[in-house]
Amino acid sequence: MPIVIYPFNNADHHVNWVGRNCANCVIQKCDIANSIKMVYWAGQKTVPYEIANRMGKFENLHAHTWECPEKQSEPSQTLLIR
């Protein structure tokens, strides 16, 4: 049986985290965002351990909201040197 984690204490916690991170992120196809959409919209309430770890849950156990380690505020720009 896979390990699952409750990433949020309540709906407000969920909304605040998504507003701080997903709403300001430019990544189009994000596994974290897709997983946490299911937390309250589908009544799932848990995410796989891997997703909780990637979203920084274990480094921020007592925080109401925190910065997602994978959040990108603007597209990455590659510098080409010739």
Question: Using one digit for the tens of pLDDT, what is the confidence trace for 12-21?
Answer: 988 999 999 9
Question: Using one digit for the tens of pLDDT, what is the confidence trace for 16-50?
Answer: 999 999 999 999 899 999 998 888 777 788 999 99
- Say how many CA atoms lie within 13 Å of 34 toward its Cβ: 5
- Whether the pLDDT of residue 4 is over 60: the answer is yes
Q: Residue 26: its pLDDT value, please?
A: 92
Q: Residue 80: its pLDDT value, please?
A: 57
CA–CA dist 6, 62 (Å, integer): 13
Ordered by start, the domain boundaries in the chain are 4-59
Model confidence, pTM: 0.79
